């Protein structure tokens, strides 16, 4: 009797586990941090995610990301992105061709590149740039540039809708007609030590934009972030995190 | 002249007096009402130059002088979270009291260093002489993304 119950439990466990293997199930973890973490003060916002595939398997390529952040985070009023760069300009020549006042942040991404039977890791640099507005919304362009083994530059536009970023990730082939590269992790920092320029009495003067301002009140449970990931083949994963409220005093 | 004729003549005279009296009272009433109404409606045409005071997340607080037909100090709580429709709550401290209200407007060209905005405002109350203020109107402005300052022009009707 006890043996048959154990067998049944094992079968249920297998039934739950096997579809995950068949789809190459992925899991995700996201991170967020404010530096400095002081309510009401200007800060840099560091956000990232890491995707984990089924042990020993190549990740399915990421195709989309829905990212939610606190809507009252002062990203729009940060003074970041007071000039714009077009996606075409960015894709052709990179962020160096964009006005300095359009740069909003930096980051990096780790991708898996399948080569024959091997999987090679590549690190791509990311620049966050302000793009032309659309229907009155500010547009953020995330430009990722990888050099070796796959040299590619992709530009992913997203509208800065309060508390929500929706990004479509284009597929990048490792070799012509080869499998697509797969994103493993991304880390970006919004703000930071950026240098902008302005005209003061006919002279060009450098300054540092203030950066994202934290609200004066911290919500119960901290500042919540969540993300939903979609993968080639229809797989999905989700994750959430919260930046804990700073301690008083 | 018979008694009946005398009575009819007397009634006509009284009736004429009554009509004249009613007319006079009506005219007096209308005149008073017109005067009262005129005293409680005020056309505002002001311009405010507001500078940044403090912020909390996507909310900015600006303050500055407003000049025009309702001069005073204006304090604005301005919310811009990415939506092109921006919202504000304002208080104008005038000579005889304050007026408070809310406004919203649409920002055009938000990626420029100084996007312009256009919208409407509603006066919801006040204090002092304007304790029961109401009204509304239009607003036009510019938001300076570098300094977080605001320049706002208003054309409104104030009832109090």
CB contact under 8 A, A76 and B81: yes
A113 pLDDT more than 70: yes
CB contact under 8 A, B82 and A82: no
Q: What is the mean pLDDT of residues B70-75?
A: 95
pTM over 0.90: no
**Per-chain mean pLDDT for chain A:** 86
Nearest-angstrom CA–CA distance, A17 and A141: 38
The residue among A244 and A25 whose pLDDT is bigger is: A244
At A184, the pLDDT band (50, 70, 90 cuts) reads very high
A12 pLDDT more than 60: no
So what's the pLDDT on residue B6? Answer: 61
CB contact under 8 A, A84 and B111: yes
| DSSP bridge pairs for B108 | B116
The answer for residues whose C-beta is within 8 angstroms of residue A211's C-beta and 6 or more apart is A42, A43, A44, A78, A79, A80, A191, A192
CB contact under 8 A, A213 and B55: yes
User: Within 13 A of A187's CA, how many CA atoms are on the CB side?
Assistant: 7
The residue among B9 and A91 whose pLDDT is bigger is: A91
Q: Among partner residues B58, B111, B146, which is closest to A74 by beta-carbon distance?
A: B58
So what's the ipTM on this one? 0.76
CB contact under 8 A, B57 and A133: no
Decide if A70 touches B, using CB distance below 8 A: yes
A70 pLDDT more than 80: yes
Distance from the B119 Cα atom to the nearest Cα atom in chain A, whole angstroms? 14
Nearest-angstrom CA–CA distance, A212 and A171: 31
Q: What percent of chain B has pLDDT over 70?
A: 76
Q: What is the pLDDT of residues B9-29, one digit of tens each?
A: 665 665 555 555 454 544 444
So what's the pLDDT on residue A9? Answer: 47
Q: Which of residues 111-170 of A touch B (CB under 8 A)?
A: 130-133, 135-139, 160-163
The residue among A115 and A166 whose pLDDT is bigger is: A166
Distances (CA, A) of A236 to A54, A227, B18, B134: 13, 11, 89, 53
CB contact under 8 A, A40 and B54: yes
Q: What percent of chain B has pLDDT over 90?
A: 66
The residue among B47 and B82 whose pLDDT is bigger is: B47
Locus of tokens 């006890």: A2
So what's the pLDDT on residue B32? Answer: 39
The residue among A135 and A240 whose pLDDT is bigger is: A240
Give the residue extent of every domain in chain B: 1-39, 41-159
A136 pLDDT more than 90: no
Distance from the A161 Cα atom to the nearest Cα atom in chain B, whole angstroms? 5
* A chain contacts of residue B60, beta-carbon cutoff 8 Å: 77
CATH assignment, B41-159: 2.40.480.10
B51 pLDDT more than 80: yes
Compute, in degrees rounded to 10, the torsion defined by CA atoms A154, A159, A161, A164: -20
A43 pLDDT more than 50: yes
The residue among A79 and B10 whose pLDDT is bigger is: A79
**The most confident of A171-180, A198-207, B19-28, by mean pLDDT:** A198-207
Give the residue extent of every domain in chain A: 26-243
At A178, the pLDDT band (50, 70, 90 cuts) reads confident
CB contact at 8 A, A222 and A63: no
At B131, the pLDDT band (50, 70, 90 cuts) reads very high
What is the end-to-end Cα distance of chain A in Å, rounded? 61
At B37, the pLDDT band (50, 70, 90 cuts) reads very low
CB contact under 8 A, B111 and A82: yes
CB contact at 8 A, B3 and B117: no
Q: What percent of chain A has pLDDT over 70?
A: 88
* A chain contacts of residue B145, beta-carbon cutoff 8 Å: 77, 79, 82
CB contact under 8 A, A136 and B54: no
> CB A197: neighbour CB atoms within 10 A?
14
**Per-chain mean pLDDT for chain B:** 83
At B40, the pLDDT band (50, 70, 90 cuts) reads confident
A53 pLDDT more than 60: yes
Nearest-angstrom CA–CA distance, B115 and B110: 5
At B3, the pLDDT band (50, 70, 90 cuts) reads low
Q: Among partner residues B56, B112, B145, which is closest to A40 by beta-carbon distance?
A: B56
The residue among A149 and B17 whose pLDDT is bigger is: A149
A82-86, A174-178, B86-90, range with the lowest pLDDT: A174-178
């Amino acid at each position: 009797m006890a043996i048959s119950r154990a067998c049944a439990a094992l079968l249920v466990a297998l039934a739950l586990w096997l579809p995950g293997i068949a789809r190459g199930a992925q899991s995700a973890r996201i991170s967020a941090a404010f530096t400095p973490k002081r309510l009401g003060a200007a800060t840099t916002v560091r956000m990232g995610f890491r995707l984990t595939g089924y042990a020993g398997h190549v990740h399915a390529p990421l195709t989309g990301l829905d990212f939610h952040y606190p809507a009252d985070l002062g990203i729009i009023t940060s003074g970041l992105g007071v000039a714009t760069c077009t996606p075409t300009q960015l894709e052709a020549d990179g962020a160096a061709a964009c006005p300095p006042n359009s740069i909003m942040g930096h980051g990096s991404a780790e991708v898996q590149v399948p080569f024959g039977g091997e999987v090679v890791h590549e690190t791509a640099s990311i620049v966050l740039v302000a793009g032309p507005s659309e229907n009155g919304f500010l547009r953020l362009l995330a430009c990722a540039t990888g050099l070796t083994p796959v040299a590619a530059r992709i530009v992913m536009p997203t509208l800065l809708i309060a508390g929500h970023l929706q990004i479509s990730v284009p597929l990048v082939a490792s070799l012509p007609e080869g499998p697509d590269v797969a994103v493993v992790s991304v880390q970006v920092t919004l703000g930071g030590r950026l240098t902008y320029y302005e005209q003061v009495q006919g002279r060009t003067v450098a300054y540092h934009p203030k950066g994202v301002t934290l609200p004066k009140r911290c919500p119960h449970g901290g500042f919540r972030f969540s993300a939903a990931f979609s993968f080639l083949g229809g797989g999905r994963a989700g994750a959430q995190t919260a930046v804990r409220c700073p301690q008083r005093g | 002249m018979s008694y009946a004729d005398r009575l009819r003549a007397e009634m006509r005279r009284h009736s004429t007096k009554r009509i004249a009296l009613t007319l006079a009272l009506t005219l007096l009433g209308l005149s008073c009402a017109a005067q009262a109404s005129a005293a409680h409606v005020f056309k505002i045409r002001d311009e405010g130059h507001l500078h940044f005071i403090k912020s909390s997340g996507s909310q900015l607080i600006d303050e500055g002088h407003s000049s025009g037909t309702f001069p005073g100090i204006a304090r604005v709580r301005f919310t811009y979270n990415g939506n092109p429709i921006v919202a504000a709550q304002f208080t104008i401290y005038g000579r005889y009291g304050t007026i408070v209200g809310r406004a919203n407007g649409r920002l055009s060209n938000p990626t420029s260093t100084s996007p312009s905005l256009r919208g409407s405002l509603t006066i919801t109350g006040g204090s002092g002489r304007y304790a029961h203020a109401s009204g509304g109107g239009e607003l036009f402005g510019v938001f300076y993304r570098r300094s977080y300052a605001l320049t706002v022009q208003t054309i409104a009707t104030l009832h109090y």
